[in-house]
Amino acid sequence: MTHPRPSHPSPAPASDTPYSVHRFGAKGDGKADDTAAIQKAIDAEAEAGGGGVWFPPGRYMTAMLRLRPYVGLFAHPTWSYHNFGGTRLALLDPQAPQLIDITAAYGVRISGLGLDGQNLGQGVRGIFLDGQTHNQEETLFIEHCRVSGFTGDAAHLFCVWGFTVRSNMFIFNKGDGLNFNRCDGWINDNIFNNNEGWGIHARPWNGALTILGNRIEWNQAGGVRLGASGMVSLNDNYIDRSGGPGIRLDPGNEVDRTYGRRRSVSISGNVIHRSGARVPLESHDNCHIWLEHQAGVVCSGNTMTTGVNDGGNGQHSPSYGIVYQSLRNCVIKDNTFEMGVRRQFLVDLGDNDASVIIKDNVGSLAGDEVRTF
């Protein structure tokens, strides 16, 4: 039998090749303003018909950069939980709306970079797209990046169409980890951690999404929020110590209620732990899963537990398991709550029709015994 030859990544371009930002005058010494040099490298690749811009290890001080069509930004991904590693683009302009703007681009790839907002300004985003005037799929990739220290969202994709966000760490930002709307998205194998908003926040409207195998923890607003969503696979994620619900599906706003219920969402195989860390125990937001104004949702095979903070402090939560209201043709079945909630497994807030199936959800209430991990 003939076996295919294993593939190996191509070696990184040397710092004196045309692909490198050093060739265009970037220093990467943590002192010089490298904005103009990096932008020249991006523009040169675009004018040549597209290609890759390479960042040798260093700390590149920069204001906002504008990506061009079919240009990629590349570096070796050597970051860790607390540190940026070899290659860091550090924001130096507190007035910049974002560090990397991909609004005017299609077919771009941002790979292996550390993006550091340095907690400058207000509402500054790491990566931003405004695709409302686009007439084709952006087909963009954000991969293997660490995006941290921004006063807004780590990545904010408005009207995005065809996108992949994979194997990143979006951590310690004052907004959401990933904030987006529209469709055709793959969100896989990321870490969304310690953001002050949601880990993943899909604003109305959005659909055709695969959200798979992510670690979503310690986000202050909540884990995953999908507003007016349809055709979504939300499976096999680990969601821990969310400030609010671990998962929330709702219309997103009052306007979107008028367009009817979104449909066809699968919520399966998720492990949801210690939700509701930052909301009152009496609030229905103190829950693992919230389903509101939905149709065609299957919520099955999820495992949910309670706990406190890792150090043994913080409130023991959540109070409730699955809170649901105004459902049509939905199934909530075969979920488990081992020491899963403090007060009530299932909370029916009404306006659900006879097509809704609720059965075979098992578990036990948590008493004084708590888990810290």
- CATH tag, 19-196: 2.160.20.10
Burial 220-248 (b: 16+ CB within 10 A, else e): bbbbbbbbbbbbbbbbebebbbbbbbbbb
Q: Indicate the pairing of strand 65-66 with strand 51-54.
A: unpaired
For 90-148, the pLDDT digits (tens) are 999 999 999 999 999 999 999 999 999 999 999 999 999 999 999 999 999 999 999 99
**pLDDT at position 185 over 60:** yes
Domain range summary for the chain, segments of one domain joined by +: 19-196, 239-373
| Cα→Cα distances 157→23, 27, 191, 200, 285, Å | 31, 30, 18, 12, 26
Rounded to two decimals, what is the model's pTM? 0.94
**pLDDT at position 241 over 80:** yes
Q: What's the pLDDT at 367?
A: 80
For 327-349, the pLDDT digits (tens) are 999 999 999 999 999 999 999 99
The dihedral built from the CA positions of residue 244, 249, 252 and 258, taken in this order, carries a sign that is: negative
Q: What's the pLDDT at 11?
A: 47
